[in-house]
A = this chain, B = another copy of it.
Amino acid sequence: MPQASATNRRIVLANRPTGQPDENTLRLETTSVPEPGPDEMLVRTVYLSLDPYMRGRMNDAKSYAEPVPIGGVMTAQVVGQVVKSNIEGYEVGEYVLNTSGWQDFAVSDGTQVVKLGKSPDNPSWSLGILGMPGYTAYAGLLKIGEPKAGETVVVAAAAGPVGATVGQIAKLKGCRVVGIAGGSEKCAHVVKNLGFDACLDHRSDDLAAQLREACPSGIDVYFENVGGKVLYAVLPLLNPFARVPVCGIVSWYNLPGLPDGPDMGPAIMGTILRMKVRMQGFIIFDNFGADVYQEFVRDMTAWLKNGSISYKEHMVEGLENAPEAFNQLLAGGNFGKMVVKVG
């Protein structure tokens, strides 16, 4: 079902899910393409970003952002092309980064739009390595994790866009880097192509023992993307004064309620206390300002140019496949940054 020019497909939140989103959670609707008014433009979605944080927006709970309302278009960053423009400075055909969500077309007055030029080299990279996930990895690792040469850095979801970038930056800083990922194919990629020192399969029965062996000097920085059993395997290995940037807990996003015990609260808090751990949650655009963003763009552009950092996308074709791709992402079925090619 390709993108049409006369109709707008959009995916809206039909029902708030309990646990994993299912066929009742999202609904594909078809409407007419909206018409831009004065000082507005029409943007056609080319690439749609799928990211784990979107699961939180499906809940009606206190969080760092407003939930998506029932019937509302699912939140997302997209890379689009200007189709019609009544705004000075935006030309038809130009690429933009927009926050218009899971749909084919959207009208914008330019608010929160970033210009990407007429023919950017890799337009979709603005959703990944040069966008929110790359910036999250950069600032979370360097400003909260504060890795020092010779230290051991552990990162879960190591084949994902954030984890892969965290690990590669940590290698550039002279650290021993141990990744954790799902399956041997991802682990091989993480070691061979990304240059991690080791990568462990979180599906292994003896993950904790493997991690202990892979971290003979303990763990100085744990970049938290997943929570769950990976976190619990990390806790006993944290060194005094370890830092834990908390970026995500994707293994827990689909929980319908608190899991069965034992209660690991005493283990978490006891480790923080005894090991003098600093654990800090962060939401990239809330915690860091323009100064850090400029450092990121400067460094990341240079690293991509000189080949120090490599980047992998998991491209899915067609807006209609976004719901299934999103569930795949939550289950760790993606291999690289999940992007939907919409048009």
Interface residues, chain A, CB within 8 Å of chain B? 56, 62-64, 224, 227, 231-232, 236, 240, 246-249, 252, 255, 257-283, 286-287
Q: A63-B274, A272-B279, A287-B276 are in contact. Are A260 and B263 (CB under 8 A)?
A: yes
Task: Give the Cβ gap from A274 to chain B, nearest Cβ, in Å.
Answer: 5
Contact check, A268 vs B266: say whether CB atoms are below 8 A apart.
no
Contact check, A268 vs B268: say whether CB atoms are below 8 A apart.
yes
User: Can you name the residue of chain B whose Cβ is closest to the Cβ of A247?
Assistant: B273
Residues of the B chain whose Cβ atoms lie less than 8 Å from the Cβ of A261? 258-263
Q: A261-B262, A262-B260 are in contact. Are A252 and B281 (CB under 8 A)?
A: no
User: Can you name the residue of chain B whose Cβ is closest to the Cβ of A273?
Assistant: B281
Contact check, A281 vs B275: say whether CB atoms are below 8 A apart.
yes
Q: A263-B261, A264-B264 are in contact. Are A273 and B246 (CB under 8 A)?
A: yes
Q: Pick the contact of A269 from B236, B252, B263 — CB < 8 Å?
A: B252
Residues of the B chain whose Cβ atoms lie less than 8 Å from the Cβ of A276? 64, 280-283, 286-287
- Copies of this protein in the complex: 2
User: Can you name the residue of chain B whose Cβ is closest to the Cβ of A261?
Assistant: B261
Contact check, A249 vs B266: say whether CB atoms are below 8 A apart.
yes
Docked pose: A249 CA to B264 CA in angstroms: 13
Q: Pick the contact of A267 from B231, B258, B273, B287 — CB < 8 Å?
A: B258
Docked pose: A161 CA to B12 CA in angstroms: 55
Contact check, B265 vs A264: say whether CB atoms are below 8 A apart.
yes
Task: Give the Cβ gap from A166 to chain B, nearest Cβ, in Å.
Answer: 16
User: Can you name the residue of chain B whose Cβ is closest to the Cβ of A264?
Assistant: B265
Task: Give the Cβ gap from A204 to chain B, nearest Cβ, in Å.
Answer: 20
Residues of the B chain whose Cβ atoms lie less than 8 Å from the Cβ of A281? 271-278
Contact check, A269 vs B246: say whether CB atoms are below 8 A apart.
yes
22 CB contacts below 8 A, A to B, read A62-B236, A227-B265, A231-B265, A246-B269, A246-B272, A249-B270, A252-B270, A258-B262, A258-B263, A258-B264, A258-B266, A259-B262, A259-B265, A260-B261, A261-B263, A262-B263, A265-B265, A265-B268, A274-B281, A276-B282, A277-B281, A278-B279
Contact check, A263 vs B266: say whether CB atoms are below 8 A apart.
no
User: Can you name the residue of chain B whose Cβ is closest to the Cβ of A260?
Assistant: B261
Residues of the B chain whose Cβ atoms lie less than 8 Å from the Cβ of A236? 62
Among A62, A259, A264, the most chain B Cβ lie within 10 Å of the Cβ of A264
Task: Give the Cβ gap from A59 to chain B, nearest Cβ, in Å.
Answer: 10
Residues of the B chain whose Cβ atoms lie less than 8 Å from the Cβ of A280? 272, 276-279
Contact check, B273 vs A266: say whether CB atoms are below 8 A apart.
no
Residues of the B chain whose Cβ atoms lie less than 8 Å from the Cβ of A262? 257-261, 263
Contact check, A279 vs B282: say whether CB atoms are below 8 A apart.
no
Q: A268-B265, A280-B279 are in contact. Are A274 and B56 (CB under 8 A)?
A: yes
Q: A249-B269, A258-B262, A268-B268 are in contact. Are A275 and B64 (CB under 8 A)?
A: yes
Contact check, A259 vs B249: say whether CB atoms are below 8 A apart.
no
Residues of the B chain whose Cβ atoms lie less than 8 Å from the Cβ of A266? 227, 249, 252, 255, 258-259
Residues of the B chain whose Cβ atoms lie less than 8 Å from the Cβ of A240? 64, 286
Task: Give the Cβ gap from A186 to chain B, nearest Cβ, in Å.
Answer: 23
Contact check, A227 vs B278: say whether CB atoms are below 8 A apart.
no
Residues of the B chain whose Cβ atoms lie less than 8 Å from the Cβ of A274? 56, 62-64, 281
Task: Give the Cβ gap from A70 to chain B, nearest Cβ, in Å.
Answer: 21
Task: Give the Cβ gap from A317 to chain B, nearest Cβ, in Å.
Answer: 32
